[in-house]
Chains A and B, each alone.
Chain A
């Protein structure tokens, strides 16, 4: 049986995130986490390959302990196993340090045929981890995949490019990232939902990964935040108040004055 590893991320529920005032990184511990929405298609794509060619699907996430409930919910989607990669030493990692950690964890779970990730997270929004992790593992990366199938020992993926759509063929193992929105995602299994509280993820800490502390966390991150500042806008123009009708009339007047309306 082939193996697919899906890397997922927990992101702060919008409105609950706090930024650490000293390090300027996210306080993930304090936030309520939800599954990064662009990872949902990644999980669906893995399930489709499982349906198509009987792959084992393992969901893995790097995060703090409050990621466990998210992983349990992911188990209800039909994955075969769930892993949490967690260690205080990982906190504050930029995308390079994160990719190092993921690459090591994925190599511990090898051999595998495919690593699947969402195209980006809605908090960091860099989209860098899938290709960066692939590079560290010396594997090809195929980004913005819309659909993928397994045929005669090869993967065939349709991906979006700046100038059009590519149909790309490659042999396993490889890393793919999936576009944030696909046609449909299946609902969780009711049977599994009833039992998720009994399922616990396997935990990998740095004791198992054995990464040099200088290469992970804040110390392993070449990009550092030198400063943050709030974007303030000095009031630029006039603000009109009144009834919608008169204000709409005023806008038309302004647009005419500026030559934007005949």
Chain B
């Protein structure tokens, strides 16, 4: 009873989404502290393709259970729910966790609804205390971290993207196929008529080594545009805060924060960003943080490794001038 923890392994075309590997890192620790077995559940349409996934033998789970059926090719939400709910009813896991990918965010709530379980979103840290598991996430636009518990099992959560590094295991997990019973309903109400693979690979911003980001302290869209110039010179990607996106200064794909992109660059240069928690959780893993802001007490200034108490647009103008002069 409640001896295992499920992690959703999101597969597509013989590949495991990296976010499914990321979530195993904190879950490994949780499983060890609570003495549970960590099991990656993979749903796929092709057995050979699944078993050929290179990361399979090095991932941090104790076991990998895979379920194969042609209808699982595009992971239709209703069928995924049915399969996971079946497994949960059979094995009564202590917890079920998903990456906060679009698929994870679409399937997890269906499973939670079916199981009448609580579901926490965008969890980016765990705490184990007295044999209880706490889930941490930023919340409500204030600078607040909420520590959540669930009143009943299974404990469920979607885990924030890019919040955890991928780690490899010393030894390979036990990999086994799970066959569902004879009369299992494999139907789905969803028919895929067409699929167009994404033209661009996952956001370059999320894997950038250098990020230059801007917030409301830049005061205007014209000023914000200077970041793109800076990015070219520094070979960086440009990011923005939610208010900057809302103001139309930068596209939504470049929003860094809770429901945007998470970054872990070597350098993070923040121009005119106060550091609201919904933003900082998306970049606090950055190795070297520089902040330019008029307010010395702003959270981003205190978080930064180096701060410059200055008007962001003027600083940016001066910086660009000097960098261009050097060429």
A contact residues vs B (CB 8 Å cutoff): 14, 17, 19, 24, 26, 37, 94-96, 99, 120, 123-136, 140-144, 156, 160-171, 174, 180-181, 221-245, 247-252, 254-255, 258, 260-261
B280 an interface residue at 8 Å Cβ cutoff?
yes
- B143 near A231 with CB under 8 A, answer yes
B198 touches A165 (CB 8 A): yes
Q: Which of the residues A135, A163, A243 comes within 8 Å of B114, measured between beta carbons? A: A135
* Contact A244 to B317, CB < 8 A, known contacts A162-B10, A222-B152, A223-B119: yes
Tell me the nearest residue of chain B to A95, going by C-beta.
B119
Give, as a whole number of angstroms, the nearest-CB distance from B153 to chain A.
Answer: 9
The contact of B299 among A96, A233, A247, A248, by CB within 8 Å, is A233
Known: A169-B191, A226-B149, A230-B143. A125 touches B258 (CB 8 A): yes
Give min CB distance, A180 to chain B, whole Å: 7
B258 touches A222 (CB 8 A): no
The contact of B102 among A162, A171, A249, by CB within 8 Å, is A162
* Complex contacts, B205 vs chain A, CB 8 Å: none
Indicate with 1 or 0, residue by residue over B81-102, a CB within 8 angstroms of chain A CB atoms: 1000000000000000000011
| Additional A-B contact list (5), CB under 8 Å, known A164-B197, A230-B145 | A125-B121, A169-B193, A225-B146, A242-B310, A260-B210
Residue B112 is within 8 A (CB to CB) of chain A in the complex: yes
Return the chain A residue nearest B252 by Cβ. Answer: A181
Contact A245 B105 (CB under 8 A): no
Cα distance, A130 to B121, chains bound together (Å):
14
Report yes or no: A240 in contact with B308, Cβ–Cβ below 8 A: yes
| Residues of A close to B190: CB separation below 8 A | 140, 142, 168-170
Number of interface residues of B (CB under 8 A): 92
Flag if B143 contacts A162 (CB, 8 Å): no
| B189 adjacent to A174 (CB under 8 Å) | yes
**Residue numbers in B under 8 Å from A134 (CB-CB):** 110, 113
- In the complex the two chains form, is B102's CB within 8 Å of A143's CB? yes
- Among A120, A230, A235, contact of B259 (Cβ-Cβ < 8 Å): A120
- Do residues A248 and B147 form an inter-chain contact, with CB atoms below 8 A? no
User: Considering the chains assembled together, what is the distance between the CA atoms of A96 and B118 in angstroms?
Assistant: 7
- Contact residues in B for A123 (Cβ distance below 8 Å): 140-141
Neighbour of A19 across the interface among B144, B147, B305, CB < 8 A: B144
Contact call B106/A143, Cβ cutoff below 8 A: yes
Interface string of B133-176 (1 = CB under 8 A from A): 01000111111111111111000000000000000000000000
Expressed in whole angstroms, the Cα–Cα distance for A99 and B113 within the complex equals: 8
Cβ of B184 to closest chain A Cβ, rounded Å? 17
21 contacts between A and B (CB under 8 A): A94-B118, A96-B119, A127-B105, A127-B259, A131-B105, A134-B113, A135-B109, A141-B106, A141-B110, A161-B103, A162-B101, A166-B192, A222-B118, A229-B144, A239-B301, A239-B308, A241-B310, A247-B308, A247-B310, A249-B322, A251-B306
Contacts of A169 in B (CB 8 A): 190-193
Instruction: Check if B207 is an interface residue, CB within 8 A of chain A.
Output: no
Which A-chain residue is minimally distant from B121 (CB atoms)? A126
B144 contacts A228, CB within 8 Å? yes
* Known A-B contacts A162-B102, A227-B147, A237-B306; A131 and B191 likewise in contact (beta carbons under 8 Å): no
Beta-carbon nearest neighbor of A219 in chain B = B151
Q: How far is the CA of A249 from the CA of B308 in the complex (A)?
A: 11
**Are A163 and B148 in contact, CB atoms less than 8 angstroms apart?**
no
Question: Which of A96, A230, A231 lies in contact with B280, CB distance below 8 A?
Answer: A231
Q: Is B116 an interface residue (CB 8 A)?
A: yes
With CB as the reference atom, state the residue of chain B lying closest to A167: B194
In the complex, chain B residues whose CB is within 8 Å of the CB of A242: 310
Given contacts A167-B193, A167-B194, contact A131 B107 (CB under 8 A): yes
Q: How far is the CA of A228 from the CA of B136 in the complex (A)?
A: 9
Q: Which residues of B contact A223 (CB under 8 A)?
A: 118-120, 148-151
What chain A residues lie within 8 Å of B188 (beta carbons)? 140
B17 neighbours in A (Cβ, 8 Å): 162
Taking the closest CB of chain B, its distance from the CB of A141, in whole angstroms, is 6
User: A245 to chain B: which residues have CB within 8 Å?
Assistant: 318
